[in-house]
Structure 1
């Protein structure tokens, strides 16, 4: 049931705060914190930190996207949408779907596979190195030597890439919505 009229200042403020906070968090987690951590702590600790943070991150993005979709849809009935509004509501919807997939499936699966890989790596005295790409030859040898590890590694890459693509699309969708929101500000 759409709401008639202009949204109140409180609704507009809530929408903008949720959207900008979500997008800022996405930028931080996607492009800054991971790179800093991987070069500061060992590989297994990095995986442990990411496995603890990502569920909160994915559910926060999901919650923010759902709230923004709901607020936007209340004041923009689908029968009256222009092209820009249709792009915005579609972007919110896409972000809800993809962040739900990350929260419920890709993130959890990636973490489960990673912990299985860590167990095998510990048996071979791997995982304590700091820095992305360190000891890659040893990991390649382990993949060749251990078919279980090779299969886990392939599954990990598959789910990790799916999760990253979903996350990147959500970043783009929220960035697009910030652009349209800024373009529609009456005054600065």
Structure 2
């Protein structure tokens, strides 16, 4: 593997630690904590918890991705990259872009829309139900009665889906980087 310099053990450890921490955090937040919380606490409490945790989560993924991209770039000059290294540096770059978009725009927009929906739901005595499917009919009726709520609901679904896709892309990119890092370990 041609490089501009051989990274020290500290740099290698930092790179792997940051990558593993970011990916582990992504797996926990994306596939475990949200499902546990939505089935354990009220809808509005869930939204409040997510609104407090997600900015930290999204900016942590962005920061980890940026540091890993920077570390990787320093030791892998563009003109000396092989195919595997090109995949790695590209996936670090993609993760920086998508986590940045999610942290700066999609995540915050989703939260802002959610809080507007919560205001309308509170007026209509909704939002204290636990679980997603417990009171779907009441929310459907509210959408039919209140065009503002229906528009907010559609916007929320759109931005939430975009945010989820950005997050999933970052999970895949970091998983790919973990795979390539693991396959390049000299000893086990």
Matched with 2:13 is: 13
2:133 partner SS:
coil
Instruction: After the TM superposition, list the runs of 4 or more consecutive aligned residues in structure 1 that deviate by more than 6 angstroms.
Output: none
Matched with 1:172 is: 172
Distance (whole Å) between structure 2 residues aligned to residue 4 and residue 106 of structure 1: 37
Distance (whole Å) between structure 1 residues aligned to residue 159 and residue 82 of structure 2: 36
2:4 partner SS:
coil
Q: CA deviation at 1:4?
A: 2.4
Q: CA deviation at 1:133?
A: 1.5
Alignment of 1:92 onto 2:92:
yes
For the aligned residue pairs, the C-alpha RMSD in angstroms reads 0.7
1:53-92 to 2 correspondences below 5 Å? 53-92=53-92
For structure 2, the 5+ residue unaligned runs are: none
- CA deviation vs aligned residue, 1:130-150 (integer Å, no higher than 9, x gap): 112110000001001100000
Matched with 2:104 is: 104
1:41 partner SS:
coil
1:120-135 to 2 correspondences below 5 Å? 120-135=120-135
Distance (whole Å) between structure 1 residues aligned to residue 56 and residue 143 of structure 2: 31
The alignment of Structure 1 onto Structure 2 pairs a total of residues equal to 186
Please report the TM-score for the alignment, with normalisation by the length of structure 2.
0.98
Matched with 1:45 is: 45
Alignment of 1:117 onto 2:117:
yes
1:146-165 to 2 correspondences below 5 Å? 146-165=146-165
1:119 partner SS:
helix
Distance (whole Å) between structure 1 residues aligned to residue 168 and residue 22 of structure 2: 13
1:126 partner SS:
coil
